[in-house]
Amino acid sequence: MKRYFIQHRNLDIHITEWGAYSDSVIFCLHGLGSTSLSFIEVAEELKEHYRIISIDAPGHGKTSPFENEKDYEMDKMADWINEVTVLLEIDSFYFLSHSWGSFVALYYAAKYPKRVRNSILIDGGYQGKRHSNQSVEEEVDFYNKDFEQVWESWEDFLALVKSETLNWNPIKMEAAKDLCLYKDNRYYWHARGSTAGHIIRAMHKDEAEDIYHKLDGSILLLKATLPHSMEESRNKTAALFKELTRGEVKSIPETTHLLHWDRPETVVREIRNRWK
């Protein structure tokens, strides 16, 4: 694993990479509040056969935030991702994404279809905001408070990270450290509430459902099943996703939204089966 920076549009963009330069590229985009190490377990399993490139999105990890909040809008994010892949000299790639990253991945695939060889979405890209029971302001307020939390000790911060997955192991410790900002003897999320708010507003403005018909039908959505209280709404929007994209949906039993942390072996198996 190597980590490095590239510069573009006055941003320092932090990138994590595994594998050999000559291998087929899997480009990874994490969810809201995560970092490029979100995919560490999957990448470690696949690095002998693929070149895996995972980025810290703007305002996440060690990548600078956008100065203009409108740059977080989906169409603009797709253009930014394309510019980054061009800088990295990637002609075409497989797209692996989680949560918010999957919404961006869909917009990218719709706008630059010839560059995407295939896509796997990890519990993302199908939970449209028009099906939410929260207003944009209510959701922005929630995420702002969530991302501005403060912890007095590393142990308290780590306990929260551990609680979000059903399958904790030592390799996840590197990803957990990446999520933390230590300042003035306190522990914070690396991503700030302002970044979260810009992204939530963008997701309310740009509905992936409106571009489903532009996609090629080869997309795989791996859908979480926990908590059970969300299953009805997830099934409803996943069925709409399947109908309009003509893609495939697989429900992965006993998994949370962090499906690739709960069951990394499932993601690895799907990649090996589909992206030979």
> How is the chain split into domains, by residue range?
2-274
- Beta strand segments in the chain, E: 2-8, 11-18, 25-29, 51-55, 93-98, 116-122, 150-151, 180-183, 186-189, 220-223, 248-251
The reported pLDDT for the residue numbered 194 is: 97
Q: How many CB atoms lie within 10 A of CB 265?
A: 12
Residues in a beta bridge with 5 = 14
**Alpha carbon distances (Å) from 82 to 8, 150, 181:** 12, 35, 29
Category of 123 on φ-ψ map: left (φ > 0), alpha (ψ -120 to 50) or beta: left
Distances (CA, A) of 207 to 26, 148, 152: 25, 27, 38
Percent of the chain with pLDDT over 90: 98
**What does the DSSP 8-state code read for residue 29?**
E
Is the peptide bond prior to 65 cis by the omega test (within 30 degrees of 0)? no
86 pLDDT more than 90: yes
Q: What is the pLDDT of residues 161-182, one digit of tens each?
A: 999 999 999 999 999 999 999 9
> Is 0.85 surpassed by the pTM of this model?
yes
- Cβ count near 259 (within 10 Å): 24
**pLDDT tens-digit map of 100-123:** 999 999 999 999 999 999 999 999
Looking at domain 2-274, what is its CATH homologous superfamily?
Alpha/Beta hydrolase fold, catalytic domain (3.40.50.1820)
Distance CA 24, CA 276 (A): 10
pLDDT band at residue 276 under the 50/70/90 scheme: confident
